[in-house]
């Protein structure tokens, strides 16, 4: 019985932490955020070299053959650093291809090597994320769909699209430059993680996986978003705590005021146990399959709600400075707005968790 990180995992986290401190301080985050693409190929290449794209890819396909937990730890560190770029979409693409088995396998080496950047197109208009209710259709290898929020679609070499064909819901592969694909940028609240509005008109697409792989991919997404939220809230909390220890008012550090102390105590009281929830969900993905979907839903709902609260309370605790553009807090405030929204809102996943519990 061991519910903790391995020495390797701890080291991996440390490595990423140091990497982002040096390669992607918030000054760099802002530069990338304000660029047109919101994507820095150089930074991405370095992440590839660190093996981030191959984490869950089997060794025989050139990856490290690790588990979703390891991928989630990377997501946590990206969240802590507010690192911009296509990590999330590419990670979900990797999960999808892996779950697809034989038909996905050929792609995995190229994903691991960074030669191919993948992304997923799942949600549809009217905030629809329920596979059964998706409108995207594939007829004789031709895809018709409108997907409003596809991470870094413009940069992706491969888009894995959730759609229905005569066999029912599944995942369909669309390669870069395929016919009938139109990609428009969406100006998003979180400019560190871009999304594009993608329309597919009779686009050649071939089925690579069925409903099981699709829902596994969604579960993985929920867990990675929860991990990102945890990394982000940790950072917000640390900023607030340090500020409370330094900033003086009325002749004492504000952290000496009981109101501030108790607000910080209330936050850490929520944050600490929340970590264990997404850890468990991530561990379940590979080891306790029947528990995964429910815990992924609970973790996404709980962690993103909490991220939202922590980002807000941290900003309020900072007072005016926390509300400025120059101060970094809003980077995470905006990431919290992304995490709560992407893949469906908290109430939706609580309702799913209730169904999955058989209540």
The option from its own copies, other proteins, none interacting with 340 (CB < 5 to 8 A, set by class) reads: other proteins
Q: Which does 320 bind (CB under 5 to 8 A by kind): other proteins, its own copies, none?
A: other proteins
Secondary structure of 115-139 as H, E, C letters? CCCEEEECCECCCECCHHHCCCEEE
Cβ at position 270, least distance to its own copies in Å: 18
Q: Which is nearer to its own copies, 182 or 249 (CB)?
A: 249
Burial 269-308 (b: 16+ CB within 10 A, else e): eebeebbebbbbbbbbbeeeeeebbbbbbbbbbbbbbbbb
Shortest reach from residue 224's CB to other proteins, in Å: 16
Q: Which residue has the tokens 């690192």?
A: 83
Kindly tell me which of 5 and 183 has the beta carbon lying closer to other proteins: 5
Contact call for residue 257 and its own copies (CB under 8 A): yes
Does the protein bind its own copies through residue 268 (CB under 8 A)? no
Which residue is listed with tokens 């991928």? 71
Q: Which does 95 bind (CB under 5 to 8 A by kind): its own copies, other proteins, none?
A: none
Token pair listed for 211? 């409903």
Question: Is-contact 278 227, C-beta < 8 A?
Answer: yes
Nearest residue to 212 (alpha-carbon basis) of 169, 243, 156: 169
Q: Which of 126, 251, 259, 359 binds its own copies (CB under 8 A)?
A: 259
Q: How far is the CB of 48 from other proteins (least distance, A)?
A: 26
Please list every residue from 105 through 134 that binds its own copies, using CB under 8 A.
none
The yes or no reply on residue 258 touching its own copies (CB under 8 A) is: yes
Helix axes 258-287, 211-246, angle to 10 degrees: 160
- Residue 156 phi, psi dihedral angles, 5° rounding: -75, 145
Number of residues that bind its own copies (CB under 8 A): 4
Minimum distance from residue 357 beta carbon to its own copies (Å): 21
Selected binder of its own copies within 202, 262, 268, 324 (CB under 8 A): 262
Which of its own copies, other proteins, none lies near 131, with the C-beta cut-off 5 to 8 A by kind? none
Q: How far apart are the first and last CA of the chain?
A: 29
242 binds, among its own copies, other proteins, none (CB under 5 to 8 A by kind): none
Token pair belonging to 83: 């690192």
Could you give phi then psi for residue 206, rounded to 5 degrees?
-120, 140
Site string for its own copies, 292-331 (x = CB under 8 A): ----------------------------------------
Cβ proximity to other proteins: between 175 and 345 the closer is 345
Contact 312, 236 (CB under 8 A): no
Q: Contact positions toward its own copies, by CB under 8 A?
A: 257-259, 262
């Amino acid at each position: 019985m061991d519910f903790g990180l391995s020495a390797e995992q701890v080291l991996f986290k440390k490595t990423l932490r140091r990497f982002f401190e040096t390669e992607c301080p918030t000054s760099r985050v802002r530069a990338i955020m304000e660029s047109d693409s919101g994507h820095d190929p150089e930074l991405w290449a370095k992440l590839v070299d660190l093996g981030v794209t191959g984490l869950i890819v089997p060794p025989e396909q050139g990856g490290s053959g690790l588990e979703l937990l390891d991928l989630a730890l990377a997501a946590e560190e990206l969240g802590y650093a507010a690192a911009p770029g296509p990590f999330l979409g590419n990670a979900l693409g990797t999960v999808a291809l892996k779950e697809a088995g034989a038909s996905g396998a050929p792609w995995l080496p190229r994903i691991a090597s960074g030669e191919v950047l993948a992304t997923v197109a799942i949600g549809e208009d009217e905030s629809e994320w329920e596979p059964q209710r998706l409108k995207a259709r594939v007829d004789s290898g031709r895809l018709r769909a409108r997907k409003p929020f596809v991470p870094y679609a413009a940069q992706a070499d491969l888009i894995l699209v959730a759609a229905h064909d005569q066999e029912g819901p599944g995942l369909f592969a669309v390669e870069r430059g395929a016919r009938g694909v139109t990609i428009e940028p969406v100006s998003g609240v979180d400019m560190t993680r871009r999304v594009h509005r993608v329309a597919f008109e009779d686009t050649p697409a071939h089925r690579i996986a069925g409903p099981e792989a699709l829902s596994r991919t969604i579960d993985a997404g929920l867990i990675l978003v929860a991990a990102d939220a945890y990394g982000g809230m940790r950072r917000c909390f640390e900023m607030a705590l340090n500020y409370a220890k330094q900033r003086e008012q009325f002749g004492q550090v504000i952290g000496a005021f009981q109101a501030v102390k108790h607000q910080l105590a209330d936050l850490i009281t929520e944050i600490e146990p929340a970590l264990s929830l997404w850890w468990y969900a991530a561990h379940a993905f590979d080891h306790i399959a029947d528990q995964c979907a429910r815990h992924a839903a609970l973790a996404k709902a709980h962690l993103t709600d909490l991220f939202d609260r922590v980002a807000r309370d941290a900003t309020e605790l900072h007072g005016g400075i926390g509300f400025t553009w120059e101060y970094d807090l809003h980077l995470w405030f905006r990431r919290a707005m992304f995490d709560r929204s992407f893949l469906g809102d908290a109430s939706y996943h609580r309702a799913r968790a209730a169904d999955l519990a058989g209540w």
